[in-house]
Each structure stands twice: as structure tokens, then as C-alpha cells.
Structure 1
């Protein structure tokens, strides 16, 4: 069985890949037209979906996986005392997350190198798990969702986005290119994501599509 550390982003998102990704997603003036052209999505919805992080009370345990270059940190307030863990399989991405936290004046952001399909956290640990634009890169997104659900407390929420299949021919062609190059995994349709969440013990609360980008919120069942 292939090692996911060799088949997922550690292989495709090294230092160069991390730089290209961040050059787009961290710059709204680039991300907005790119999102519209490639995925038919309103990138503004992607950024606004993170705003809730700045409203969380001190002591809230948040797992951000895969954290990428730390895009979600834009919504965290300086001085906010969250128990925030950023996890990613790519050391290059974690380096960028640390640098972004420093740039934003954020303290107490923990960074952990971890495989999303075998997270090094105990059951029922986190109040929120956020997963932005990562699940479509995985070889087994259903396994990743199960693992994130395991780490959530009962009643806690999974929030994030993912590129999905079945959202139009232009998107399908670009996804095929990305899968062929090894950047994307198989992903799935919106119905697949709903099924995977339900099987993992999550109640899907929101499954909204903006072009090929699925916005999801799910709650862990007691």
C-alpha cells in the first residue's frame, strides 16, 4: 500500500509549489479572477467563510488541517487566545504558516507536521476543525473526514471548502489535468461529501456550491 506521505502534497507541494499556491490564495486580487476562471467560484465567499474564527472565545480548540500556508490565520485576531493547531504534511507549508503568523502578530499558533489520515491527536480534542481547499488533493478524502471527525468533540463542527466533481465541463477538464499531474486526488461530488460526512458520524449542516467549490459545515453527532 503506498505511503500517503509520498502520494499526497509532500510530493507535489514543496517549496516551489507552496510559493505558487500562496502567491494566489493569499492575494485576493489574483485569487478572485483565478477562482472565477478556473472554478467559476466567488472567492469572496471563501474568505468570508473564515470570519467566524475571529469571533471565537479564548480557549477554543481549533484544528486547521491541511493548513497550507496559513490562509485562515487572516481571520484570527492578534491577542486572541485560541488553542490553535495548524497541521500539514508539508514542512514547506508549515514554514509559511509560521511566517504568516509572525507577520500578522499572532502568538500561540502551534504547527504540527501530520498526515491527515493519521492525525496525532486524541479523540474528542477539538471544538472546531477547519479544512480549506485540501480534501480534493487527497487520495482518500473519506478517510480524512473520518479522522477529522474522530478528533472533534461531540457537538463540535467541521468547516471548510473543497473542489468537487460534477460542476461543469471546464472544471472537470482542469481537475483531470491536476489529477494527471498528481496534484489532485479523486475528490468527489457534493453527494459524495455528504455521504462521507454522514458515515463519519457528522451531520451535514451546510453543503453550498459556488461553482466547483463546495462550502461545507458539519456537526459531530453525540
Structure 2
């Protein structure tokens, strides 16, 4: 079974969601498994209450809606938020999470990250948490996310990477054999993938085997800049 088939069809994926839905448990598990301090991730989620206000946001893969805790309290008219996942199991859990939190400004879509059903430059922000290492082609996924970002739009996410230690690399290999993980590269591979997707302003921080990254879709060059470049 490939990682795509696993995450799309297996009802066991909800076990992951149950863990990340409880911050204290998730932080302990991340520390033990990956040597990662997960506080930064939950802090980023909490900051969505301001960061997502008045913006169009794509969340892919949305999982069971763990990011929704950062939207709690925002009026529906201040949220233009699209949650995408390939798994109906995850989307059902995300819908339940949204209902529990009284969030009505979220649109749910089942789709592959490599074929997002949105026009070019549709979003101000794209969130991609804990999904990149599960994709069969990270560059294709990042390129598609970049396509739907507006010029100057921000990509923000996390990914498991190789090279943090022998134990963590072994866990990655086991997950790949089980079909849970897809292509999982190193810190340098992640940086290269972000560049290949056409992103700029790349910043990556690593905590254990998890990388926290941000990047932006570049603003287009003006006609004058292009002309000046050609003249030189």
C-alpha cells in the first residue's frame, strides 16, 4: 500500500488525529519519537487568530482540523478558510471539529495535493502541516501549493526530515515500509524542494527530526525591471 492509499482509505488515520488533537500528549510523543519540541507548532496554530483574519487560507492536508483551535472566536465573515484532505475520514473529523468550535466560515474539499481544484493565485496563505513527508512527490505538491498562492503569499508548514539521528531515521524507514510515509528527504532536500517549487524568502528551523518552514511566492518583476535586465 502506498502512502496515498494509506491516508486516503485507512480508518486508522484517525489515531494520528487523536494524538495531535491533545497538545500535551502530542508534545510528549513528538519529544520521544522525533526529539522535537512541538510547542512552536501549537504556537503557530494559536497565532492564526490574527494571521488568518481577513485572508484567504488553504489548509492542506487539514487532517482532523487541529488548526481550527487557532480560528476559534473569529466571526464567519472574517474567515475565508478552505480545508483540503485526500481522506474522507479526516474531512469528517474536521467537519465535526469545526461544528464543536462553532466555525461556519470553513469550506471542505476532498482533493489530492498534486491536483488542487482552485484557480491560480487564489490564496493569501497556505498551511501544510505534517503532510509533506507523506507525499509521493514533495516537489510536485509544493509546486501546486505555490501555484494557488497569490504573489507575496506565504507558505507555512512542518515536515519530518532525515538526518536527526539513527533512531529517527529508522522510524522513518519503518513508516515508509508500512506505507505511512512517502518520500522523506533531509533538511537540505527540503530546502531544495522549496526552491524548485519557485518559492523565495525560505526560512527553515529544525527541532529534532521535524523542520518548521516558511516561504513566499515572489512578486512578479515589473516591466521596467525585465527591460533593464534584458538591456544588461
Q: Is TM > 0.5 for Structure 1 vs Structure 2?
A: yes
1:107-158: CA deviation from partner (whole Å, max 9, x where unpaired)? 1110000100111011011000000000101111111000000000000000
RMSD: 1.5
Partner of 1:3: none
1:163-210: CA deviation from partner (whole Å, max 9, x where unpaired)? 011111111010000000000012111111111111211114320001
- Residues 90 and 213 of structure 1: CA distance in aligned 2, closer, same or farther (over 3 Å): same
SS state at 2:47 partner: helix
Residues 7, 86 of structure 2: 8 Å contact kept = no
Task: Kindly state the Cα deviation for residue 14 of structure 1 after the two structures are TM-superposed.
Answer: 4.2
2:46 aligned residue (37, 48, 51):
51
Which runs of 5 or more structure 2 residues have no equivalent in the other structure? 220-232
6-15 or 133-142, which deviates more: 6-15
Residues 52, 79 of structure 2: 8 Å contact kept = yes
1:70 aligns to 2:65 (yes or no): yes
1:201 aligns to 2:191 (yes or no): no
- Residues 30 and 146 of structure 1: CA distance in aligned 2, closer, same or farther (over 3 Å): same
169-178 or 204-213, which deviates more: 204-213
Residues 2, 180 of structure 2: 8 Å contact kept = no
Alpha-carbon distance in 2 for matches of 1:13, 1:34? 24
SS state at 1:122 partner: coil
Task: Kindly state the Cα deviation for residue 29 of structure 1 after the two structures are TM-superposed.
Answer: 2.5
Which runs of 5 or more structure 1 residues have no equivalent in the other structure? 1-5
1:39-83: CA deviation from partner (whole Å, max 9, x where unpaired)? 000111111122331003643100000111111111113233211
1:39 aligns to 2:34 (yes or no): yes
1:182 aligns to 2:179 (yes or no): yes
Residues 49, 74 of structure 2: 8 Å contact kept = no
Partner of 1:60: 55
Residues 84, 109 of structure 1: 8 Å contact kept = yes
Partner of 1:132: 129
Alignment length (residue pairs): 217
Alpha-carbon distance in 2 for matches of 1:148, 1:23? 26
Larger Rg: 2
Alpha-carbon distance in 1 for matches of 2:52, 2:134? 31
Alpha-carbon distance in 1 for matches of 2:190, 2:15? 27
1:82 aligned residue (71, 74, 79):
79
